[in-house]
Structure 1
Amino acid sequence: MRLTNNQMFSRSIQDMSQTQKRLNSAHAQVTTQEKFKTSGDAPAEIAKSSYLNDEIKKNTQYQTNSSMLKSTLGLEETTLNNLHTAMERGRVLSVRALNGAVGEKDRHAISLEIGQVQKEVFSLVNTKNANGDYIFSGTSSQLQPYIKDDQTGLYTYRGNEQDNKIQIATNVYIGSGDNGRRVFESSPARLTVNTSNLTGLITAAKSEVVDQGEYDNFHTHNYDHNNPVNNTFKLNIMAPLVPGDRDTYEIQDNLNNVLQSGYFSSDRGVRFNGVNISAQGSSPGSVDISLMPSVNTNILNTLESLKTALSDASLEKVDFRESMADAQVGIENAQYSVVSTISMIGGRNNTIERVNESNSSFKIINQEAMAILTETDLAAAMTDLTKEQNILEMSYKSFNKINDLSLFNSI
């Protein structure tokens, strides 16, 4: 077969052009350190790398969310710790007020300090974050959670019961705060008892919880939420059968079952399941003893009641002791709720740490897989570059040799 000079020239140019393309591709891989220039070079690998890139971006965003979440939870935890400290000061002051050496002026001074504690608590429960959102309003973060009703003098919660949540991993959402309804409105007030419906020659009656633990246990096991009449017991005071003997008493339930009986003295009263019931007058007569329902209150209203009791010089000793006991139990329950919330925040922080470590591991794994798919093996790319350079040089030399071939050169 005869090869013309044009055929040899064209074939040489074509080979050098292909070699130049391979050289350019090898050079691009070395300089950009990427295997492929377009998706058409390797569609499957590019598709896989796009998926991995999306996963890496997700993990990066999750890590950013985790950092923001830890900062938000840190603000809440600091606020709750300050609240606990303020509450403890209020509790200490309520205990000090029961000291027999504390007079009317001292109580007034204590009430003024309680007022300052209340202002601090009011400020803390209305804390804002850096974005100007109230951290205890739930999802209604633009609404101030606590305000004071000027007509009732009570503090009310205006937020909702929903918590904001932030995604820190696939299907993992962590609450970024706690609404005030759960933290401050779920604290039970002190369980109390009430006397009413005086009959016969009984002119006055009072009840005082002298053993809170005993009474709480009795209340828990005997309070009837479905039938309130079962929550009322009757103290019957009866004249002695023998003239000159002491009066006697019986305590009956709603079915007239006698639960307790004995001699009665108005000076000492009657001790009944942690409650001391005193009655003034003479026999015969009766007093109704009612278990009061369990209710929740917030710390602001507890401090308001404490402040009012300290400022009221007309309160009798029993009523004053009851008011101080109400405050102490209310504050302790509020402290327990705050400490429980701090514990939950600690648990959330631990979860964030573990999930963040997993996200970091997944991100590294995905980056390595993506690098295998799309990044150039630099050593192999340098070898290919050198090889293509040598091939191109040899192609140039061969072209020059072939181009010089002619019959005239042999004559």
Structure 2
Amino acid sequence: MRIGTANFYQRSLASLQSRQVSLDRAQEELSSGKKVIRPSDDPVASNSIIKLKKELDVSSRYLDAQSTANRYNREAETSLTSMNNILLRLQESLSGAINGALDNDGLIAYREQIASRYEEYEGIVNQKNANGDYMFSGFQTRTKPYQSDSFGYFDYQGDSGQRQVLIAPSFDVAVTEPGNSFASNVASKFSHYRPASAAASGAQVSLGFVTDGAEYRAPTAPANTYQIQFSGAVPPQADTWQVVDVSLPAPNVVNGPYGYSPGDEIEFQGISVKTDVNNPPQAGDVFDMQPDKKADETSVLWMFQQAIDAMSITGTGYTAKPLAASTVSIAGGNIKFPDEHKFADFEVVFPSAGQVEVREVDRSTTPPTVLATPVSAQAYNPAGTLLEFNGIEITVAGAAGNQTTIPPAPAPNFPETIRLDRPENNRRADVLGALLEEVTNAQTNIDNTRSQIGARMNSISNEGDAQLLFKEATKITLADLEEIDVYEAVTNLENSRVGLQAAQQAFARVQNLSLFDYI
């Protein structure tokens, strides 16, 4: 057979190039560890590889999101645990302070303890996370959740939103807890009251809290409003206040009129309201005190403030509160005979000139309901009359019938009635008892919230395990499509190298052949 030189070279070159390409491919596969290097190598497998890599990227993002969500929830859970510990300390302080035999020094010590816990709790509930966001303000992460008014009462400024993080397909998990879901919705058996607006003069009064459960009565619907009214003999200075129940027909005065000085606390129907000594109400100012939208709920920070205020309730005897301009004075009020005594509210009444009597009353009604008359009407000596009842002794003196009413009534004004309130230490015990119930409710709120966070963290952990399993399975599938069999690749490389060497040697030997060598 005759082999043309040109044909020989063409066929030999093609063989060498083909074997060199095979060797290069084998080397590339072995060095990269992949059998699909370019989409053209296997279009179907390449398409699957692209999809699988995208799924791995998405899975990695889910794992990162789970780590973030777990960190946020763990921080919140740690903060709530600290809050619960603070409430335990508050509970201990309230249980100790409820002792009616405590002296002022003991109450001061408890007040300092509670104030310290108050500051600690406020710092935690207003804390920020590592990103500088407030943890407990809902969606309002740049707004401090609890801010105090001029009276020191903290109100929630955030919203009810919960930030969510997507940790798996179609699975969002909350990473924040708004403060109003556990710290501002503490169940309370008493209502609290808000002024509907500032007065015409711009003066303000504080929130109203129940400080005497025995006297408390909520106003009835639809008006359900107590109105604090200020008046003055020399406007604009206010020197008198009274409170009316707008829901009742006249006469609807529930307390007063009493003399007023800037900073005085207004007390009516078992509710206490503070006034601002630096911006006091003026004559003609009125404040409509209405039950809050969530009147049966209180705030943990309000509880702390009420507990601190309660440490100033120290009286051990009955105290009288004459109306404005009254010239009657009442001394004494100490419990002389404990065996004959029971805690109750009384009124010293002057039914007419020269007469005085004592009535036991229930002040939760308007007007107060007379329960008994421990001292029937008897002669009254303005120079001083001793009255003994319920284990108590009081001395009443002064001309009766000169008290002020709004509008003014001509003197002498009978009957004149003077409140005789139960000892403050008894009222303090009632206040602290109610606060102890609220502390328990606050702890329940925190426990419930911690349970929710724990459930979320369990969900995050479960989703994390699922994502790791999915990622591992996807990697195996991807490896089957993309990665080489090392042993097979080494064999291919060796075969390609041997084939190329054989082709090179064959080409060299045939190239050197000449017919003249055989002539």
Would you say same fold, with TM above 0.5? yes
Q: RMSD between aligned alpha carbons?
A: 3.1
Q: Which residues of 2 match residues 233-248 of structure 1 at below 5 A?
A: none
The residue that corresponds to 1:359 in the other structure is 467
TM-score of the superposed pair, with normalisation by structure 2: 0.59
Q: Which amino acid aligns with 1:362?
A: F
Q: Which amino acid aligns with 1:68?
A: T
The residue that corresponds to 2:304 in the other structure is 303
The residue that corresponds to 1:16 in the other structure is 16
SS of the residue corresponding to residue 297 of structure 2 reads coil
Structure 2 unaligned runs (5+)? 193-211, 225-291, 316-422
Q: Which residues of 2 match residues 343-358 of structure 1 at below 5 A?
A: 343-358=451-466
1:325 aligned to 402, 414, 433, which one? 433
SS of the residue corresponding to residue 87 of structure 1 reads helix
The residue that corresponds to 2:188 in the other structure is 189
Larger deviation, residues 315-324 vs 96-105: 315-324
SS of the residue corresponding to residue 186 of structure 2 reads coil
Structure 1 unaligned runs (5+)? 194-205, 210-222, 232-291
1:50–1:192 Cα change, 3 Å: closer
The alpha carbon displacement at 1:153 in A equals 3.1
CA distance in 2, matches of 1:192, 1:179: 23
CA distance in 2, matches of 1:307, 1:37: 75
SS of the residue corresponding to residue 172 of structure 2 reads strand
CA distance in 2, matches of 1:187, 1:113: 22
CA distance in 1, matches of 2:103, 2:158: 41
Q: Say if 2:327 is the partner of 1:312.
A: no
CA distance in 1, matches of 2:183, 2:424: 30
SS of the residue corresponding to residue 155 of structure 2 reads strand
Query: Does the 8 A contact of 2:100 with 2:429 survive in 1?
Result: no
Q: Say if 2:162 is the partner of 1:160.
A: no
Q: Which residues of 2 match residues 90-169 of structure 1 at below 5 A?
A: 90-150=90-150, 152-169=151-168
User: C-alpha deviations, 1:28-77, integer Å up to 9, x for none?
Assistant: 11111111332222222112111111111122222222222222222111
The residue that corresponds to 1:176 in the other structure is 175
CA distance in 2, matches of 1:103, 1:190: 29
CA distance in 2, matches of 1:100, 1:317: 6
Query: Does the 8 A contact of 1:147 with 1:155 survive in 2?
Result: yes
CA distance in 2, matches of 1:132, 1:325: 39
CA distance in 2, matches of 1:37, 1:353: 37
Query: Does the 8 A contact of 2:98 with 2:433 survive in 1?
Result: no
1:174–1:207 Cα change, 3 Å: closer
Query: Does the 8 A contact of 1:187 with 1:334 survive in 2?
Result: yes
Q: Which amino acid aligns with 1:310?
A: M
CA distance in 2, matches of 1:111, 1:311: 9
CA distance in 2, matches of 1:17, 1:153: 90
CA distance in 2, matches of 1:183, 1:38: 58
The alpha carbon displacement at 1:357 in A equals 0.6
User: C-alpha deviations, 1:135-193, integer Å up to 9, x for none?
Assistant: 1011211111111111x432111111111111211112111121111121221123479
The alpha carbon displacement at 1:340 in A equals 0.9
Q: Which amino acid aligns with 2:160?
A: E
Kindly tell me the number of residue pairs found equivalent between the two proteins.
330
The residue that corresponds to 1:33 in the other structure is 33
SS of the residue corresponding to residue 37 of structure 1 reads coil
SS of the residue corresponding to residue 184 of structure 1 reads coil
The residue that corresponds to 1:261 in the other structure is none
The alpha carbon displacement at 1:335 in A equals 1.0
The alpha carbon displacement at 1:329 in A equals 1.5
The alpha carbon displacement at 1:387 in A equals 0.8
Q: Which amino acid aligns with 1:327?
A: L
The residue that corresponds to 2:47 in the other structure is 47
Larger deviation, residues 328-337 vs 310-319: 310-319
The residue that corresponds to 1:272 in the other structure is none
CA distance in 1, matches of 2:314, 2:102: 12
The alpha carbon displacement at 1:320 in A equals 1.9
SS of the residue corresponding to residue 432 of structure 2 reads helix
The alpha carbon displacement at 1:317 in A equals 4.2
CA distance in 2, matches of 1:72, 1:294: 32
Q: Say if 2:397 is the partner of 1:398.
A: no
Query: Does the 8 A contact of 2:314 with 2:425 survive in 1?
Result: no
Percent of aligned pairs sharing the same letter: 24
Could you list the structure 1 runs, at least 4 aligned residues long, displaced by more than 4 angstroms after superposition.
Answer: none
Query: Does the 8 A contact of 2:187 with 2:296 survive in 1?
Result: yes
The alpha carbon displacement at 1:3 in A equals 3.6
CA distance in 1, matches of 2:478, 2:30: 18
1:336–1:207 Cα change, 3 Å: closer
TM-score of the superposed pair, with normalisation by structure 1: 0.74
SS of the residue corresponding to residue 34 of structure 1 reads coil
Name the structure where strand makes up a greater proportion of residues. Answer: 2
Query: Does the 8 A contact of 1:208 with 1:318 survive in 2?
Result: no
Between 1 and 2, higher relative CO (CA 8 Å, sep ≥ 6) is seen in 1
Q: Which amino acid aligns with 1:6?
A: A
2:486 aligned to 378, 392, 400, which one? 378
SS of the residue corresponding to residue 144 of structure 2 reads coil
CA distance in 1, matches of 2:116, 2:152: 16
User: C-alpha deviations, 1:232-261, integer Å up to 9, x for none?
Assistant: xxxxxxxxxxxxxxxxxxxxxxxxxxxxxx
CA distance in 1, matches of 2:40, 2:105: 90
CA distance in 1, matches of 2:135, 2:462: 25
The alpha carbon displacement at 1:409 in A equals 2.4
SS of the residue corresponding to residue 100 of structure 1 reads coil
2:442 aligned to 334, 337, 340, which one? 334
CA distance in 2, matches of 1:31, 1:166: 41
Name the structure where helix makes up a greater proportion of residues. Answer: 1
The alpha carbon displacement at 1:318 in A equals 4.2
CA distance in 1, matches of 2:213, 2:486: 89
